Amino acid sequence: KRPKQFGEPIFLDSGDSGFSGISESRGRPGYPGGPGRPGVVLVHGYLGCPEQVRPLAEYLHSHGYNVYCVRLAGHGTSSSQLPHVTWADWMDSVMHGYAVMKQHCDRVVVAGFSLGGMLALLAAARLGQDIDGAICINTPVRLRDKRMPLVPAMVRFSRVMRRVGLRKGYAFWRHTTESPGINYDHNYLVGVSEVRRAMAAGRREIRRIECPVQVVQAEDDPLIAPSSGKTLLAELTCDEKVLTELSFNRHMIIRGPGSELVFAKMLSFLGRNRTQHAASENRIAPEPGAIRFRVDSLHAESNDQSK
């Protein structure tokens, strides 16, 4: 059974920003007296909850960042809530997280895992110059499941079945998760449809992103097409974009063996972003011929790569 606190937003402060109301680095945000150090808004994946991204949050917190892990609408409680929310509700959750963090920090980066990565990119596109960076991890452009193109028709058929009284409730199935006890083990057809809608919206809006972006992609992700990372990099038009490819053959790379490699690469990107921001505040001109994008390949050599 999922502990109740797994579904609560997680707020970790850096100790000097005036946060209040934090108990054991977990809980709802208080109200600070002024801006603190740089902040990161973390967005969990579909069927997940804030606990899913806790190891990453604690790592960033230990390196001096304030971190807020949002809870997407319909997640972290009961899977029966999923049929009653849309991807727009998920976006509202992310934008709320940004608004909360912006009260505490002058500079905010939004980062997300899987579906959370696409929502992070959407937030960056909509916030324009008000966001300082974005990171997406194993973010889907195309799913490997060959049944995905059939989802819209299946949703329409299920809706008709409910209307004529031949089916009660919403179509769902049980599935095996890489994070048992944290992620839902029930998936709903209408939920998958909303994931597809969020993916389509992200593809439409990604070219509006102005801030630096890091795309992290496992080279043999069993759930999303490994080409997703390269596709996102090609569609981004921002001045700084980085593709970090990792030799994992599992989707959940922010928990378990080797996850510290992902964290370190993210921290490096955040550090560069932080340095560039400080340079711009001091009116230091960028180096001539600055690199507009970079492909960074990192191989995990000594970790268990099983799913």
Structure confidence at residue 289 as a pLDDT band (50, 70, 90): very low
pLDDT at 244: 97
pLDDT at 16: 43
pLDDT at 34: 40
pLDDT at 180: 64
**29 with 11: CB under 8 angstroms?**
yes
Quote the CA–CA distance of 191 and 46 in Å, as a whole number. Answer: 9
Q: Name which residue leads in pLDDT, 304 or 74.
A: 74
- The pLDDT of 62-83, averaged and rounded, is 92
Structure confidence at residue 85 as a pLDDT band (50, 70, 90): very high
Beta carbons within 8 Å of 306's beta carbon, 6+ residues apart: 249, 250
- Which tens digits make up the pLDDT trace of 153-186? 555 656 655 565 655 555 544 566 666 678 887 7
pLDDT at 153: 56
pLDDT above 90 (res 148): no
Residue with tokens 């370190």: 264
Angle formed at CA 40 by CA 38 and CA 282, multiple of 5 degrees: 30
pLDDT at 257: 94
pTM: 0.80
- The pLDDT of 277-284, averaged and rounded, is 54
Segment among 35-44, 101-110, 119-128, 286-295 with least mean pLDDT? 286-295
Nearest Cα to 195, choosing from 268, 131, 114, 251? 114
Q: Name which residue leads in pLDDT, 10 or 278.
A: 10
- Which tens digits make up the pLDDT trace of 223-249? 898 899 999 999 999 999 999 999 999
